[in-house]
Amino acid sequence: MLRKKPKVSDLRSLRLLSTLIFCAIFAASLSGQERLKISHDAAQKLFERGEDEQASVAFRALLADTEKERHALSRKPPAQRSQRDAELLGFYTRILASARNFLGLIAARHENFAEAARQFAAVRALQPGFPDADFNHGLALFGAQRYAEAVAPLEHALSGDPSNSRIKKYVGLTYVETGRYETAARFLEQIRSSQSDDSRVLLALGKALARLNRLDESRQVFEELFKSQPESAESHVMWGQIFAAQSQSREAEGEFRRALELDPKVPSAHFFLGMLSLGTERLENARQEFAAELATHPADSRSKYHLAFVMMALQQTDQAIPLLRQVVAEQPGYAQAYYSLGKALLQQGNTRESIEHLETATRLDPSKAYSHYQLARAYQRAGRTAEAEKEFKLTHGLEAKQNSGPSHTPEDTP
């Protein structure tokens, strides 16, 4: 009989098991509070050593234990709780917040930003004053491309530490992604010199200035960026974005193609090629580019959303709907995705569910006339005349406000 050679993962599991058994035996001899503290510190050590898998298991076990203890205590009616009970509840909350914070950090370290955002959101809910909770949450949302949601925690973090240029940087980057170019430019100008090692700052600043039609300043920023970046697939993607921001589509396309020649899997090159095609209504090309981006980066929600958007334009609404469902599941704060899903469902005659998603879109971002308009159309189709009229009025009011913007700019469209 052949004996199987033990695998590395088996050995790791064995080591983890023995550590946990040791901790459990040791902890059993201690009070509940001490036990949890020691388990926490042991898990933290694993985290600090970079043993994320074990640390994650340990923190999850700690969460379960702590929740159990806290649950038992919180069942006591508040009137019967002693001073000691109150202290214990506070302790459990701190342990829970810390464990979730570490789980968030682990997820972020592995670029699982959606999970990181979930954990950091829990930290903020458990203990609003937890160190860096706002910033971490904002950063995770930024990493998950949930820019609109990232604004509030990042702004909150900045209000607590107004001179922190790192926070300021992410606030500025998020403002660019959410179209607040004026404020973004102001923020990014402030930290331009202190964050000069991060090319994203100059790229975002250049884009914001271009959008604000401060073209000479934008060009200067981009020139600085050109000089500072050595050639790589990533730098060609960046240069492509610079050309695109200056409406030089042909040059932009050349840069993205060059990036793909150097590294066929370089992030975002296919995405931006898709955006260029979309801008000129080459819908089939755009569809292929977004699909190509997703083939190499399946978690890229932007590409998923835009692929669905193009499919709708190509009258492939049936195929767009499942994609949009994925996007709203991954990005629950992405108002535009709810809008598109609602619109697609309305086109398919699924008025009831369409209304549900369009209501979410208007709740998440009440400033968009197009969401209110689509919701009004959905109510109209459902025979909910009074609600439709209310939404038409909102559309009309918002539309009048939007009329004060420049003529015929791409930002006018969803």
Binding interface with another protein (CB under 8 A) = 210, 212-213, 215, 246-250, 279-283, 312-315, 343, 369-374, 376-377, 380, 388-389, 392, 395-396, 399-400, 402-408, 410, 412-414
We find the least distance from the C-beta atom of residue 366 to another protein, in angstroms, to be 14
Runs of H (alpha helix) within 331-403? 335-347, 351-364, 369-381, 385-402
Nearer to another protein, 207 or 302 (CB): 207
We find the least distance from the C-beta atom of residue 306 to another protein, in angstroms, to be 14
Nearer to another protein, 160 or 405 (CB): 405
Nearer to another protein, 279 or 322 (CB): 279
We find the least distance from the C-beta atom of residue 379 to another protein, in angstroms, to be 11
**Coil, helix or strand for 243?**
helix
46: exposed, middle or buried (Cβ count in 10 Å: 0-12, 13-18, 19+): buried
Between CA 163 and CA 69 the distance in angstroms is: 40
Q: What contacts 233, CB < 8 A, 6 or more positions away?
A: 259, 260, 262, 263, 266, 269
We find the least distance from the C-beta atom of residue 403 to another protein, in angstroms, to be 6
Half-sphere exposure of 292 (CA within 13 A, CB side): 20
Between CA 159 and CA 148 the distance in angstroms is: 18
Q: What contacts 243, CB < 8 A, 6 or more positions away?
A: 249, 251, 252, 255
Nearer to another protein, 241 or 395 (CB): 395
Longest dimension (CA), the chain: 82
Nearer to another protein, 122 or 209 (CB): 209
Nearer to another protein, 348 or 402 (CB): 402
Residue 393: phi, psi to the nearest 5? -65, -45
The distance in angstroms from the start CA to the end CA of the chain is: 66
Nearer to another protein, 104 or 206 (CB): 206
We find the least distance from the C-beta atom of residue 350 to another protein, in angstroms, to be 16
Nearer to another protein, 140 or 323 (CB): 323
Q: Report which residue type is found at 302.
A: R
Question: Per the structure block, which two tokens stand in for 370?
Answer: 């197009």
We find the least distance from the C-beta atom of residue 235 to another protein, in angstroms, to be 22
We find the least distance from the C-beta atom of residue 245 to another protein, in angstroms, to be 9
**Coil, helix or strand for 229?**
coil
We find the least distance from the C-beta atom of residue 75 to another protein, in angstroms, to be 51
Q: 190 with 168: CB under 8 angstroms?
A: yes
Is residue 401 within a helix (H) or strand (E), and if so which, with residue range? helix 385-402
Is residue 191 within a helix (H) or strand (E), and if so which, with residue range? helix 181-191
